[in-house]
């Protein structure tokens, strides 16, 4: 009897085991997404002020032996140098981006490598053709967007804070500034707007509404850098819509990052070259 029991106990059960259900994957809350975006821009503002303060104190200390008046003049002269402004942008953007990337990865590590929302899409795209589409969108967006903006501006000069900064930046500082603007900036902004925010919105609204709201938010947060020129908003909204389309259809965030980076590269390269020719 014992031998028979041992043999039959090794036979497979007639009822297959019930598969385990995958754990529920929760998207970030809408308030968490908006708070993270606000934190990113706040870190840039506060970081820039703190770094400028430290640099000013160091410069003032060097000139302090010549008198308090000379120390103040030295601080003002240092802060007015174009190279100093470029250095502040590079440092503050780098520190803010690193903080946001680390915070997001630690808080939502389970969403980082999921292809579709609520995942953030840090995976290879479903097809390589989406990378080619990203290049095409990145090349076309500045041309079409610039034409649309000029059409709506009715002759008004369209300027950006980064454009004015680049025009006065020495040539030695332009390359690192461009590298930050076309690489680190797009990675963080795509994570925030086409990753965290879009995932949060898709859990509450239909895809069309989620894409529209995230795209409008992307445009509005860039309005201060455009000196509140409303006629630049349609260009930013159209760019954001194209980036959201790439994100959702490719199953990856990298095509949107690529298109965003190329768009930024063409946007800054023209006036950097023009400023160098005029200088």
Give the burial string for 48-71 (b: 16+ CB within 10 Å, else e).
beebbeebbeebbeebeeeeeeeb
Q: Is the dihedral of CA 167, 172, 175, 177 positive or negative?
A: negative
Helices 207-221 and 233-250 meet at what angle, rounded to 10? 130
Confidence band for 90, pLDDT divided at 50, 70 and 90: confident
Q: Are 211 and 123 in contact (CB under 8 A)?
A: no
- Quick check: 7 pLDDT over 70? no
pTM: 0.81
Q: State pLDDT tens for residues 175-184.
A: 888 888 899 9
Tokens of 227: 């000196």
Alpha-helical segments (H) within the chain: 2-9, 30-63, 68-80, 82-107, 109-112, 129-153, 161-167, 171-179, 185-190, 198-202, 207-221, 233-250, 254-278
Tokens of 22: 């995958």
Structure confidence at residue 75 (pLDDT): 55
Tokens of 83: 């190279």
Average pLDDT over residues 164-169: 59
Structure confidence at residue 35 (pLDDT): 96
Residue partners of 123: CB distance under 8 A and separation at least 6: 113, 114, 115, 251, 252
């Amino acid at each position: 009897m014992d031998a028979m029991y041992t043999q039959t106990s090794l036979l497979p059960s007639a009822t297959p085991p019930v598969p385990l259900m995958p754990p529920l994957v929760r998207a970030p809350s809408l308030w968490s997404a908006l708070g993270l975006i606000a934190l990113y821009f706040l870190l840039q503002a506060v970081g820039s002020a703190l770094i400028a303060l430290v640099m000013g104190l160091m410069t003032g200390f060097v000139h302090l032996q010549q008198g308090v008046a000379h120390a103040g003049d030295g601080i003002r002269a240092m802060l007015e140098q174009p190279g100093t402004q470029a250095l502040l942008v590079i440092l503050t953007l780098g520190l803010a981006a690193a903080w946001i990337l680390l915070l997001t990865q630690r808080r939502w590590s389970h969403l980082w490598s999921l292809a579709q929302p609520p995942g953030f899409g840090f995976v290879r795209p479903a097809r390589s053709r989406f990378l080619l589409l990203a290049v095409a969108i990145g090349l076309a967006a500045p041309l079409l967007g610039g034409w649309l903006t000029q059409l709506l501006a009715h002759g008004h000069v369209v300027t950006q804070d980064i454009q004015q900064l680049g025009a006065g930046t020495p040539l030695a500082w332009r390359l690192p500034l461009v590298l930050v603007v076309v690489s680190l900036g797009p990675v963080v902004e795509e994570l925030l707007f086409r990753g965290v925010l879009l995932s949060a919105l898709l859990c509450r609204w239909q895809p069309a509404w989620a894409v529209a709201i995230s795209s409008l938010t992307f445009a509005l947060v860039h309005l201060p850098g455009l000196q509140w020129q409303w006629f630049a908003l349609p260009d930013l909204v159209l760019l954001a819509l194209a980036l959201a389309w790439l994100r959702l259809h490719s199953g990856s965030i990298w095509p949107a990052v690529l298109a965003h980076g190329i768009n930024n590269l063409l946007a800054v390269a023209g006036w950097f070259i023009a400023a160098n020719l005029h200088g």
